[in-house]
A and B are shown apart, each in its own frame.
Chain A
Amino acid sequence: MITIKGLKKSFNELEVLKGIDLEIDKGKVVIIIGPSGSGKTTFLRCLNVLETPTEGSISIGGQEMDFTKKVSPAALSAFRRHTGMVFQSYNLFPHMAALENVMEGPVTVKKEPKEKVREKAEYYLEKVGLSDKKDYYPFQLSGGQQQRVGIARALAMEPDVMLFDEPTSALDPELVREVLNVMKDLANEGMTMVVVTHEMRFAQEAADEVIFIDGGVIVERGNPQDLFNNPQMDRTKSFLRKIQ
């Protein structure tokens, strides 16, 4: 489903990603952990090219992007449609009601007929438990509700892979669970997911694989039980000690 080869990203002089190789199979849930500033967000943003990698290639859902060459805007837009992104700060469109937020992609980008899209958007809002809030503007929703609309908006584009960047870290503790539950349902339904999170319980419950990134490289990877309970590398051990 996803193949990443030799991925590097620099901001001016600062090399943030120093060569990442990774394969993710269809239907797998991969959790990325690592210290602040280790490049987790940058990595995720490279996967849907919100950041253009400096080197390397990414293939998702059968489309390959080689970043050693120049990428055309059309190829870029097409490539982004393989992934759905859920942002830490939700980034809902404030001038659109919840349902309109979810409909926006299919109507504007895919040019699907509005009536069909409305049904689809209602289906996805129901999936995230917000049928009764479809006419609410973002400012009328709680953080957890906004984030669930954000998930529905991404799902409505029917991406091959869902990307989550610390989707619950801006939320009050009592709202975290409702978002994680939606994500767990998605995982159980076989959605391929790449999730940056510090929610260890969620990682234990939902992840097929946990990847520990530090200093712009993958330090260690494994299934959650092994990696959390029996880490091999010193850097992983000291990081896990700090967060537990």
Chain B
Amino acid sequence: MYLNNILADPERMARLVEIAQNSLLPLIQGAIFYTIPLTLISFVFGIGLAILTALARISDVKFLRAVARVYVSAIRGTPLLVQLFILFYGLPTIGIVLDPWPSAIIGFSLNVGAYASEIIRAAILSIPKGQWEAGYSIGMNNRQVLKRIIFPQATRVSIPPLSNTFISLVKDTSLASMILLTEMFRRAQEIATTNYEFLLLYTEAALIYWVICFLLSIAQGRIENRLDRYVSR
């Protein structure tokens, strides 16, 4: 039907190819200047936040544990889109006006921080107690055991789930289109509203997301192999 119509109509076919060619550059620019940097920056901040949150959750200080728990619960219990709307459209009501970029970075970092903290906490807890004790027995303090013994091993455990978080983040950045950030998906929307080729442009954007995520999963495999060198398989 749709496909048959196109194939039977060389003129329309040529028009679609032209639109696809012309839109490819702006979409890829959207990916390179917005989607990818937004992902990277949010992930780095998010992981930092996640490590602090994970440490707070396993600390002896009740107050820290409570704060971390409420933070994780709030982020996981509310939609990401709603969080972004609060930051960008909500906060100006109380005089806090954020541009799209900082709103997006804060929103996505908070999100990654909450989800990744659970992964990191589980990874830390999965390291046997004997590893802590071996560290203590050679005179290490808590900080030294964490840094030298626990984190290196927990990293290995948490790479696969953290890769999933990262790949989800790439796709979630499309939500930033709703707070006026002209990332890849918003560009696809903008171009589509001028020529009404929604299927073409949204499919094109989808393919670019897919390529990015595919490359990431290859990188993930390499990292996992590297970190697995000290375990028997």
User: Could you tell me how many residues of chain A have their Cβ less than 8 Å away from some Cβ of chain B?
Assistant: 30
Output the nearest chain A residue to B148 by Cβ-Cβ distance.
Answer: A108
Partner of B138, one of A94, A139, A157: A157
**Contact call A95/B136, Cβ cutoff below 8 A:** no
**Contact call A87/B133, Cβ cutoff below 8 A:** yes
Cβ proximity bits A176-202 to B, threshold 8 Å, 1 near / 0 not:
000000000000000000000000000
**Contact call A89/B130, Cβ cutoff below 8 A:** yes
The total of Cβ contacts below 8 Å across the A-B interface reads 70
Q: How far is the CB of B212 from chain A (nearest CB, A)?
A: 31
Q: Is A222 an interface residue (CB 8 A)?
A: no
**Contact call B131/A154, Cβ cutoff below 8 A:** no
Output the nearest chain B residue to A137 by Cβ-Cβ distance.
Answer: B230
- Which A residues from 191 to 216 make CB contacts under 8 A with B? none
Q: How far is the CA of A93 from the CA of B231 in the complex (A)?
A: 11
Q: How far is the CB of A55 from chain B (nearest CB, A)?
A: 21
Output the nearest chain B residue to A48 by Cβ-Cβ distance.
Answer: B137
**Contact call A87/B230, Cβ cutoff below 8 A:** no
Q: How far is the CB of A228 from chain B (nearest CB, A)?
A: 30
Q: How far is the CA of A196 from the CA of B144 in the complex (A)?
A: 29
Q: Is B139 an interface residue (CB 8 A)?
A: yes
Q: Is A77 an interface residue (CB 8 A)?
A: yes
Secondary structure at the B interface, as helix, strand, loop or mixed, is: helix
Contacts A93-B134, A95-B153; is A139 near B139 (CB within 8 Å)?
no
**Contact call B140/A108, Cβ cutoff below 8 A:** yes
Q: How far is the CB of A75 from chain B (nearest CB, A)?
A: 11
- Which B residues from 130 to 182 make CB contacts under 8 A with A? 130-131, 133-134, 136-142, 144, 148-149, 152-153, 156
Output the nearest chain B residue to A102 by Cβ-Cβ distance.
Answer: B138
Residues of A within 8 A of B194 (CB): none
Q: Is A29 an interface residue (CB 8 A)?
A: no
Contacts A94-B231, A95-B230, A108-B148; is A154 near B138 (CB within 8 Å)?
yes
**Contact call A105/B139, Cβ cutoff below 8 A:** yes
Q: Is B232 an interface residue (CB 8 A)?
A: yes
Contacts A89-B130, A91-B130; is A80 near B137 (CB within 8 Å)?
yes
Partner of A50, one of B128, B137, B141: B137
**Contact call B133/A77, Cβ cutoff below 8 A:** no
**Contact call B130/A109, Cβ cutoff below 8 A:** no
Q: How far is the CA of A153 from the CA of B138 in the complex (A)?
A: 8
Residues of A within 8 A of B231 (CB): 94, 139
**Contact call A85/B137, Cβ cutoff below 8 A:** yes
Residues of A within 8 A of B144 (CB): 108-109
Q: Which B residues are within 8 Å of any A CB, using their own CB?
A: 128, 130-131, 133-134, 136-142, 144, 148-149, 152-153, 156, 229-232
